[in-house]
Amino acid sequence: MGPPGPDGRFGSFGGRYVPESLVPACEELAAAFEAAWSDAGFHEELDTILRVYGGRPTPVTPCRRLSEQLGVRLLLKREDLAHTGSHKLNNVVGQALLARRMGKRRLVAETGAGQHGVATATAAALFGMDCTVYMGEVDVERQALNVFRMQLLGAEVRTVSSGSRTLKDAVNEAMRDWVATVGHSHYCLGSVMGPHPYPWMVRELQRVVGEEARAQCRELLDGADPDWVVACVGGGSNAAGTFAGFVDTEAYLVGVEAAGGAAMGAGGVPGVLHGMASRLLQDEQGQILEAKSISAGLDYPGIGPEHAHLAELGRARYEQAHDAEVLAAFELLARTEGIIAAFEPAHALAWVVREAGRTVPLGSTVLVTLSGRGDKDVAQARELLG
């Protein structure tokens, strides 16, 4: 998974579809990231913060009891053990360091499940920056704990009541804010989506997940790689970071979307949204359809452009999991391994549970990226499970 082409495209997807007023900001950001990413000092500071503050490297955990039950050797890459409870901190610390390097003093972010918002608020507190987070009204209600966490960290949380009142609309409002305040604000986009350079930059900042996992798996598996590498996909940052470590191996790569928000499913067709060309949920007139999911982090009506490209190449496959399967997998992991996962990675686990002995042959080794912990979803799970 190398850099995109000079026009910011991954094959047919990607690019930069933004108002003219934002083109200079995107160009400035791309140039700043290229310079920082080739600077050993930037990497050293980023790696140090992620180690001594973020808790990296996160471990790979073998699941003995669940493996016996499924008939496959299940390994979990434990991003739930990172500070703030998910993989989101990897991206946000890098972008906050970049914003400081560019002289920006305010971070703007969107969030669905709240984990990216919490990570952004955390980085803003760490670096002494102002922070505004946009969150859809539906997500504010179901992720009240994370709203309070953001406020406790000093961020202003702005509720978005337009449209479907979920992640798509939060992105819209965050981008409007960035247009108006670009002189002193950096838009800290949370996934591998949006205009160039975001899909590339976020993937590179999340690459640490896949590179760590590859080395850890080879240590566990006597130099071998997993047969299958599985991760949940909304925009797709944890999957992109994971896949980056395995794309040049023989491992099968599987991204698992929410069935009600599956841009790579039957409802997904090429289109443009939030500054990128990708595969999106649209009606016959090209209007964006509302995505539905038990998970606030996966109810996005599109997918990152590099994921659309990997699917087009046939290097990765994209599957779906239904809400009932996700709840069952959420409960199963808790009862067999003592690990309460976030609803988002429970989608990836649900696919493995369903396909073990079918698509995934018995005896296979399967790595699942557990991209976040389930603290934020426990109240919702209690309600849904009765």
pLDDT at 293 (0 to 100): 87
Residue-wise pLDDT for 211-269, tens only, equals 999 999 999 999 999 999 999 999 999 999 999 999 999 999 999 999 988 889 877 89
Q: Is the same domain home to 289 and 333?
A: yes
12 in a structural domain: no
Domain match, 37 and 122 both: yes
Q: ∠ CA(253), CA(255), CA(256), 5° rounding?
A: 140
Yes or no: say if 154 and 165 are a contact pair by the CB < 8 Å rule: no
Amino acid identity of residue 65, one-letter, is R
**Residue 41 class from Cβ within 10 Å (0-12 exposed, 13-18 middle, 19+ buried)?**
exposed
CA distances from 147 to 52, 207, 311, 357, 368 (A): 26, 28, 35, 41, 28
Q: What local confidence, expressed as pLDDT, does residue 290 receive?
A: 85
Band (pLDDT 50/70/90 cuts) for residue 149 is very high
Residue 154 tokens read as 């000093």
Identify whether 296 is part of a domain. Answer: yes
pLDDT for 310: 98
Is the model's pLDDT at 188 over the cut of 90? yes
**pLDDT at 49 (0 to 100):** 98
Residue 380 lies in a domain: yes
pLDDT > 90? residue 296: no
The dihedral built from the CA positions of residue 348, 353, 354 and 358, taken in this order, carries a sign that is: positive
Same domain, 230 and 375: yes
**Where does the pLDDT of residue 119 fall: very low under 50, low under 70, confident under 90, or very high at 90 and above?**
very high
Instruction: Check whether 284 has a pLDDT greater than 90.
Output: no
Say yes or no: 162 and 174 in one domain. Answer: yes
Q: Based on the fold, state whether residues 175 and 251 are members of the same structural domain.
A: no
User: Of 148, 164, 198, which residue sits at a domain end?
Assistant: 198
Catalytic residue among 43, 83, 87, 307: 87
Say whether both 43 and 128 belong to one domain: yes
pLDDT, position 6: 86
**pLDDT tens-place string over residues 30-46:** 999 999 999 999 999 99
Mean pLDDT of 82-110: 97
Within this chain, do residues 74 and 190 fall inside the same structural domain, yes or no? no
Tell whether 76 is covered by a domain. Answer: yes
Domain closes at, from 143, 163, 198: 198
The reply to whether 11 falls in a domain is no
Q: What is the CATH number of the domain that holds 128?
A: 3.40.50.1100
Identify the active-site residue in 26, 63, 131, 217: 63
- Judged against a pLDDT cut of 80, whether residue 28 lies above it is answered with yes
- For residues 44-54, average pLDDT: 98
* 87 is a catalytic site residue: yes
**Mean pLDDT of all residues belonging to the chain:** 96
User: In Å, how far are 56, 57, 212 from 47, measured between CA atoms?
Assistant: 9, 10, 12
> pLDDT confidence of 80, banded at 50, 70, 90?
very high
Q: What is the pLDDT of residue 286?
A: 86
Residue 267 falls inside a structural domain = yes
Assess if residue 13 is contained within a domain. Answer: no
SS (H, E, C) the chain: CCCCCCCCEECCEECCCCCHHHHHHHHHHHHHHHHHHCCHHHHHHHHHHHHHCCCCCCCEEECHHHHHHHCCEEEEEEHHHCHHHECHHHHHHHHHHHHHHCCCCEEEEEECCCHHHHHHHHHHHHHCCEEEEEEEHHHHHHCHHHHHHHHHCCCEEEEECCCCCCHHHHHHHHHHHHHHHCCCEEECCCCCCCCCCHHHHHHHHHHHHHHHHHHHHHHHCCCCCCCEEEEECCCCHHHHHHHHCCCCCCCEEEEEEEHHHCCCCCCEEEEEECCEEEEEEECCCCCECCCCCCCCCCCCCECCHHHHHHHHHCCEEEEEECHHHHHHHHHHHHHHHCCCECHHHHHHHHHHHHHECCCECCCCEEEEEECEEHHHHHHHHHHHHC
Q: Which of 274, 235, 232, 275 is nearest to 254 (CA)?
A: 232
Position 345 pLDDT exceeds 90: yes
**Are residues 373 and 278 part of one domain?**
yes
Verify that 237 and 373 share a domain, yes or no.
Answer: yes
Residue 163 has a pLDDT of: 87
Q: Is residue 8 part of a domain?
A: no
- Is 278's pLDDT higher than 80? yes
Domain boundary among 168, 198, 228: 198
Looking at the structure, do residues 161 and 237 belong to the same domain, yes or no?
A: no
Tally of domains in the chain: 2
Name which of 366, 385, 371 is nearest 74 in CA terms.
366
- Let me know whether 73 and 124 are in one domain: no
* Judgement on whether residues 37 and 62 belong to the same structural domain of the protein: no
Q: Which domain holds residue 239?
A: 57-86+208-385
- Local confidence band at 197 (pLDDT 50, 70, 90 cut-offs): very high
State if pTM tops 0.95.
yes
Torsion angles phi and psi, residue 227, rounded to 5: -75, -35
pLDDT tens-digit series, residues 353-365: 999 999 999 999 9
Q: What gap in Å lies between CA 192 and CA 247, rounded to an integer?
A: 16
